[in-house]
A and B are shown apart, each in its own frame.
Chain A
Amino acid sequence: MSRAKPEDDEYWNSSKFSAFTFDDEDDEFTKMKESKRAVNSILVDDDDDDDDVEKVSWSGEPIGTKSKPFQSFSESFTDTSTRAYAPELRKPKSECKDYMSDWSPEETVRRMRKGRAYSLERFRSLQDKLLLLDEAVSLHDGNVITAVLIYLKRSLSKEILFRELMVREVALRHYVHYLKEMGEQKLLVELMKALGRTEDMALMQYKEHLNIKDEGRRRDFLKSCLSLPFSQDDAMHVQDHYTLLERQIIIEANDKRGEAEIFRKYPRKASILNMPLITTLYYSCFYHYGEPEGTFSSPANIRKTFRISEKQYILTALGARAKLKSWFDVDSLFNTKNWLGYTKKRSPIGFHRVVDILQKNNAPAQVLQEYVNLIDDPELRLSLAQKYKCHDIVIDTYKDLKDRQQLIVYQGKVERGSHEDRKIEELINNMQIRWKN
């Protein structure tokens, strides 16, 4: 999509329709949610009239007066006799009659899926259990697969279950998902280890740190993660994560008291704990600039420890120092000495971006002008010089471009009789210059 087309603009600008009033039609649903209607105090008699239908719990027990003919797969459901579950709406009565039968794995999972009575206990041998699992998997119903897996988890040894899951990818995924849901972290880690999926295991373990609020415990936990079998890259990042938090805890302990002058002048808005690295660097450039490299809180130390790129470092330091209006510090960020001892300004980021940042921090005109002048690309330099009214730079650039016409145009924009006006006048009358137009 290209940007605004002129004919469109005309409509937008001349649009008279925005002032229309509209009736606010409350949608019924909003009302519904916040329903504050008075409640009728009529209590209706409890007459559940579908008592002809045999009530069966989802796990298979018939409920009510009948005795339990068998144990269902989940013992946890056996004490449901006092209250009744209603059968499913769509369940025809006849379906519940023959739950005593000796169902095949197919029939069993089919019944499970339909929410009818079933039993898993009759699948005793390993072979039977695996047949049942494979049948459940072929149906793709996660609920049924999970139900079978829970039965297997209870009735098989860990080693055997893991071994069999290794050759059953789909069942394995469901098992992993189940363990995650249930928060069985230890078993999960064991499983991952057994599967040789060590990187997954490591990440899974690492993820736990998100649930730890206390920073000391979080740090110790991250430290314990360092020995996990991460991929090479991830290992480095986790190491950095740990080191960063360790640093932040030290810095926080010192800075919380806020004794130094700078903390009184610019009180901290929040603690530095758990902030990203670049935020920490910014903080350090703001509150701890100029500290020797040996101190943990110094920008130089952070830069070195975390291998921060020059570009990132300069950007962050620039932001922090400009915010404090320390133009001297800003200056020295870009100063480099060449072999003759002359200082020259050099930047890993374009000077136009430096100008942007300075301008956002209300840098004074002469500071701004200095950096605008350093922009290499004449077009870019011109546009920023015009934007920030650095007349001299505009004039010099047009002169360099030998663009007499533009210079004349620009003369119209400066004040009559001003220093700039005279300068342009001199230039356009200068016959020495070989203007291109």
Chain B
Amino acid sequence: MAAHLSYGRVNLNILREAARKELREFLDKCAGSKAIVWDEYLTGPFGLIAQYSLLKEHEVEKMFTLKAGRVPSADVKNIIFFVRPRLELMDIIAENVMSEDKLQPPREFHILFVPRRSLLCEQRLKEQGVLNSFTNIDEYILDLIPYDGDLLSMESESAFRECYLENDQTSLYHTAKGLMTLQALYGTIPQIFGKGECARHVANMMLRMKREFAGSQNQILPVFDTLLLLDRNVDLLTPLATQLTYEGLIDEIYGITNGYVKLPPEKFAQKKPGEGGKDLPTEPKKLQLNSAEELYAEIRDKNFNAVGAALSKKAKIISAAFEERHNAKTVGEIKQFVSQLPHMQAARNSLANHTSIAELIKDITTSEDFFENLTVEQEFMTGVDTDKVNTYIEDSIAQKDPLIKILRLVCMQSVCNNGLKQKVLDHYKREILQTYGYEHLLTLNNLEKVGLLKPQLTTRNNYPTIRKTLKLWMEDANEQNPNDISYVYSGYAPLSVRLTQLLARPGWRSIEEVLKMLPGPHFEERQQLPTGLHKKRQQGENRTTLVFFLGGVTYAEIAALRFLSQMEDGGTEYVIATTKLLNGTSWIKSLMDRPEAQIL
């Protein structure tokens, strides 16, 4: 079912199995037939852990979406609410419970909080007078969800906002817990590096939790050699830039949620015999995207400009494979051919899908507006005219382009200039408020608080120094056959990944000066291993590093890390973990105080 999770350097299926086991245990605790009422947000992440078949085996007979009013009738013994700990959801649950039909045989209610139960929520249920109606109130600790063979995410939408805007460190606590679970399954990670305030916190909590478990030694041979904890605010620039890898662009344009993307259906119209005159489908086409699909695994991390050639090559291979049938003469040969057919047909479908997606994306990447936007981004990243009001931004405001696009650009300019001149900042602010509404004052304040937008306090702009020292801009990035991570943004090498790369070789000591310019402390910790668990590395064996992005990571950064893993003389393979998979748009949206207002 989830075989692709075990293909990687680290078998992440173990983690998934552990999560499934816990789910089964909870379901069995609510004995008898059951219906699940879902907080819709959770269905995505749960889909990565368990299919309906698992639930069915444990007597789940119906599923509903959490809605106000009455829970639809279902002749079951148990009603289980699977919800995030949110106050507004508690009010709906209370309404559900209170409007239960008294004439029907009574049903038992249960709540499963994901990922943690919350005092506030239980208090709210109490206030609503329904707390006593629940037989079980439990939590399902789904901290790190395996997304792919080398990728884990907590899918906590608000983690960045909480950590850097509201200063609520709960999600960091969950991170530390998740890392403890991971270590319980994959062994103690001997070396911990980190950069940033949140990284420091997480490391402290991990070390403390380890001390508390001092009695029970972990006897598992460590799978990971190193853990690197990185604060998102160490690198605010990268997510603002438009990702230019295939997967990154799919996410930028259509948004990938829980491994699925919804696409406009026109390009995917099915032509089945007998349905000739049928209208075009109106439902979006939903596709699953992960490394289980051979072709996708091959092209996802390529720069989009290299995708056309890759698809074209694949097309030739598949055509040739189908041509083979003419050469099959003997019964044995025909049998052989037929046995390969399902695989070939799957490959052909996959190719058709990705050709269609690539066509959709190409329509956008070749548009004037995309090009102009990208040009401005690249100017900022290379330090051109970052201290002046930018005409393209001004024009985009005048045309009422989506507010998030404007905010991404203005923030990028601010980050690349170590803050904007007061006059420039004031000008942007006024134009934005006048054009999009004064209430966005709140959002602008939020952006200032997290450091994405700020007035230049000193005249010293240290971004050029950082850019040059870390080689963040590479002229003539090779998009087709990359030799450096900068290919993922066609020239810009993501700062976060550069830090990761430099840590592996030659080590951070070589960049002390730059590290000091970036926010938060950098540190190294070691965790003692019981004797006998020290790994004896074979000659030429790669090290395995877990990179944890606190506050989110983009697909382009993941692509860059995969590129480093695959480098022949790299010496290190990376597994990536994060609080949330994000892109500039979803990131900025999480910081807005009234995101729906931007749909103008």
Binding site for B on A (CB under 8 A): 1-5, 7-8, 11-12, 15, 17-24, 27-35, 37, 39-48, 50, 58-59, 74, 76-77, 79-80, 82-86, 88-89, 110, 115, 138-143, 146-147, 150, 169-170, 173-174, 176-178, 181-182, 203, 206-207, 209-210, 233-234, 237-238, 240-241, 244, 274-278, 306, 308, 311-312, 315, 353
Produce 1/0 per residue, B258-280, CB < 8 A to A.
Answer: 00100000011011100000000
A37 and B173 in contact (CB under 8 A), knowing A86-B138, A181-B87, A353-B395?
no
Measured CA separation A141–B116 after assembly (Å): 11
Question: In the bound complex, do residue A8 and residue B75 qualify as a contact, i.e. CB atoms below 8 Å apart?
Answer: no
A219 to chain B, nearest CB (A): 13
How many B residues are at the interface, by size bracket? Answer: 35 or more
In chain A, what residue has the closest Cβ to B288? A27
* Chain B residues near A138 (CB-CB < 8 A): 208
* Chain A residues near B99 (CB-CB < 8 A): none
B residues 7-23 in Cβ contact with A at 8 Å: 22
Q: Is B483 an interface residue (CB 8 A)?
A: no
Most chain B CB inside 10 Å of its own CB: which residue of A29, A89, A174, A176: A29
A20 and B441 in contact (CB under 8 A), knowing A8-B308, A32-B55, A278-B435?
no
Produce 1/0 per residue, B102-139, CB < 8 A to A.
Answer: 00010010000000111110110011000111111111
A86 and B29 in contact (CB under 8 A), knowing A18-B355, A140-B201, A143-B119?
yes
A276 and B434 in contact (CB under 8 A), knowing A74-B123, A140-B205?
yes
Measured CA separation A7–B26 after assembly (Å): 57
A165 to chain B, nearest CB (A): 13
**Could you pull out 16 A-B pairs where Cβ atoms are within 8 angstroms?**
A8-B309, A11-B311, A12-B308, A17-B351, A18-B359, A22-B349, A27-B288, A39-B62, A39-B75, A59-B122, A80-B132, A85-B136, A143-B170, A173-B166, A181-B87, A315-B398
A38 to chain B, nearest CB (A): 9
Q: Is B160 an interface residue (CB 8 A)?
A: no
Question: In the bound complex, do residue A312 and residue B308 qualify as a contact, i.e. CB atoms below 8 Å apart?
Answer: no
Question: In the bound complex, do residue B593 and residue A58 qualify as a contact, i.e. CB atoms below 8 Å apart?
Answer: no
A273 to chain B, nearest CB (A): 12
Q: Is B254 an interface residue (CB 8 A)?
A: no
**List of 5 A-B pairs having minimum Cβ-Cβ separation, nearest first:** A142-B170, A44-B32, A20-B352, A32-B52, A241-B438
* Chain B residues near A21 (CB-CB < 8 A): 270-272, 352
A434 to chain B, nearest CB (A): 36
Question: In the bound complex, do residue B32 and residue A1 qualify as a contact, i.e. CB atoms below 8 Å apart?
Answer: no
Question: In the bound complex, do residue A308 and residue B434 qualify as a contact, i.e. CB atoms below 8 Å apart?
Answer: yes
B559 to chain A, nearest CB (A): 14
A12 and B362 in contact (CB under 8 A), knowing A43-B77, A44-B77, A84-B135?
yes
B393 to chain A, nearest CB (A): 13
B residues 298-314 in Cβ contact with A at 8 Å: 303-305, 308-309, 311-312
CB contact between A39 and one of B29, B74, B116 (< 8 Å): that residue: B74
Measured CA separation A155–B87 after assembly (Å): 24
Measured CA separation A244–B167 after assembly (Å): 34
Question: In the bound complex, do residue A5 and residue B305 qualify as a contact, i.e. CB atoms below 8 Å apart?
Answer: yes
Question: In the bound complex, do residue A170 and residue B272 qualify as a contact, i.e. CB atoms below 8 Å apart?
Answer: no
In chain B, what residue has the closest Cβ to A170? B169
Binding site for A on B (CB under 8 A): 22, 25-26, 29, 31-33, 38, 43, 47, 51-53, 55, 59, 61-63, 65, 74-77, 87, 105, 108, 116-120, 122-123, 126-127, 131-139, 166-170, 172-173, 176, 201, 205, 208, 212, 244, 260, 267-268, 270-272, 286, 288, 303-305, 308-309, 311-312, 315, 348-349, 351-353, 355-356, 359, 362, 365-366, 371, 374, 394-395, 398, 400, 426, 429, 431, 433-439, 441-442, 445, 479, 490, 593-594, 600
CB contact between B31 and one of A29, A44, A274, A308 (< 8 Å): that residue: A44
Measured CA separation A7–B59 after assembly (Å): 57
Question: In the bound complex, do residue B352 and residue A209 qualify as a contact, i.e. CB atoms below 8 Å apart?
Answer: no
Chain B residues touching A, majority SS: helix
B275 to chain A, nearest CB (A): 11
Question: In the bound complex, do residue B305 and residue A17 qualify as a contact, i.e. CB atoms below 8 Å apart?
Answer: no
A134 to chain B, nearest CB (A): 14
* Chain B residues near A27 (CB-CB < 8 A): 47, 260, 286, 288
Question: In the bound complex, do residue A28 and residue B51 qualify as a contact, i.e. CB atoms below 8 Å apart?
Answer: yes
| 13 additional contacts (CB under 8 A) given A4-B362, A28-B53 | A19-B271, A21-B272, A27-B286, A29-B47, A30-B286, A37-B62, A39-B33, A39-B62, A43-B33, A89-B25, A142-B169, A173-B166, A275-B437
In chain B, what residue has the closest Cβ to A177? B168
Measured CA separation A175–B87 after assembly (Å): 16
Question: In the bound complex, do residue B120 and residue A306 qualify as a contact, i.e. CB atoms below 8 Å apart?
Answer: no
* Chain A residues near B438 (CB-CB < 8 A): 237-238, 240-241, 244, 276-277
Measured CA separation A115–B139 after assembly (Å): 11
CB contact between A17 and one of B126, B286, B315, B398 (< 8 Å): that residue: B315
Measured CA separation A190–B256 after assembly (Å): 43
Measured CA separation A315–B394 after assembly (Å): 12
B446 to chain A, nearest CB (A): 9
* Chain A residues near B305 (CB-CB < 8 A): 1-2, 5, 8
Measured CA separation A325–B366 after assembly (Å): 33
A15 and B349 in contact (CB under 8 A), knowing A28-B53, A89-B29?
no
Question: In the bound complex, do residue B436 and residue A276 qualify as a contact, i.e. CB atoms below 8 Å apart?
Answer: yes
Question: In the bound complex, do residue A15 and residue B119 qualify as a contact, i.e. CB atoms below 8 Å apart?
Answer: no
* Chain B residues near A276 (CB-CB < 8 A): 434-438, 600
Question: In the bound complex, do residue B441 and residue A237 qualify as a contact, i.e. CB atoms below 8 Å apart?
Answer: yes
A173 to chain B, nearest CB (A): 4
* Chain B residues near A1 (CB-CB < 8 A): 244, 303-305, 365, 374, 479, 490
* Chain B residues near A146 (CB-CB < 8 A): 119-120
In chain B, what residue has the closest Cβ to A81? B132
Question: In the bound complex, do residue B442 and residue A312 qualify as a contact, i.e. CB atoms below 8 Å apart?
Answer: no
* Chain A residues near B62 (CB-CB < 8 A): 35, 37, 39
Measured CA separation A84–B109 after assembly (Å): 12
CB contact between A278 and one of B51, B116, B136, B434 (< 8 Å): that residue: B434
* Chain A residues near B309 (CB-CB < 8 A): 7-8, 11
Question: In the bound complex, do residue B312 and residue A23 qualify as a contact, i.e. CB atoms below 8 Å apart?
Answer: no
Measured CA separation A8–B270 after assembly (Å): 26
Measured CA separation A129–B584 after assembly (Å): 43
CB contact between B355 and one of A15, A50, A209 (< 8 Å): that residue: A15
Measured CA separation A115–B137 after assembly (Å): 12
Question: In the bound complex, do residue A33 and residue B43 qualify as a contact, i.e. CB atoms below 8 Å apart?
Answer: yes
In chain B, what residue has the closest Cβ to A275? B437
B199 to chain A, nearest CB (A): 13
Measured CA separation A196–B205 after assembly (Å): 31
* Chain B residues near A48 (CB-CB < 8 A): 31
Question: In the bound complex, do residue B353 and residue A22 qualify as a contact, i.e. CB atoms below 8 Å apart?
Answer: yes
In chain A, what residue has the closest Cβ to B172? A140
A83 and B135 in contact (CB under 8 A), knowing A20-B349, A89-B26, A206-B441?
yes
Question: In the bound complex, do residue B594 and residue A210 qualify as a contact, i.e. CB atoms below 8 Å apart?
Answer: yes
In chain A, what residue has the closest Cβ to B105? A43
A237 and B433 in contact (CB under 8 A), knowing A80-B132, A85-B137?
yes
* Chain A residues near B87 (CB-CB < 8 A): 181
In chain B, what residue has the closest Cβ to A276? B437
Measured CA separation A2–B137 after assembly (Å): 55
Question: In the bound complex, do residue A209 and residue B439 qualify as a contact, i.e. CB atoms below 8 Å apart?
Answer: yes
Question: In the bound complex, do residue B398 and residue A40 qualify as a contact, i.e. CB atoms below 8 Å apart?
Answer: no
CB contact between A40 and one of B55, B61, B426 (< 8 Å): that residue: B61
* Chain A residues near B431 (CB-CB < 8 A): 312
A188 to chain B, nearest CB (A): 13
CB contact between A46 and one of B31, B116, B429 (< 8 Å): that residue: B31
* Chain B residues near A206 (CB-CB < 8 A): 441-442
* Chain A residues near B442 (CB-CB < 8 A): 203, 206-207
In chain A, what residue has the closest Cβ to B166? A177
In chain A, what residue has the closest Cβ to B303? A1
Measured CA separation A76–B129 after assembly (Å): 11
CB contact between B119 and one of A31, A47, A84, A147 (< 8 Å): that residue: A147
* Chain B residues near A147 (CB-CB < 8 A): 119
B119 to chain A, nearest CB (A): 5
In chain A, what residue has the closest Cβ to B127? A76
* Chain A residues near B436 (CB-CB < 8 A): 276
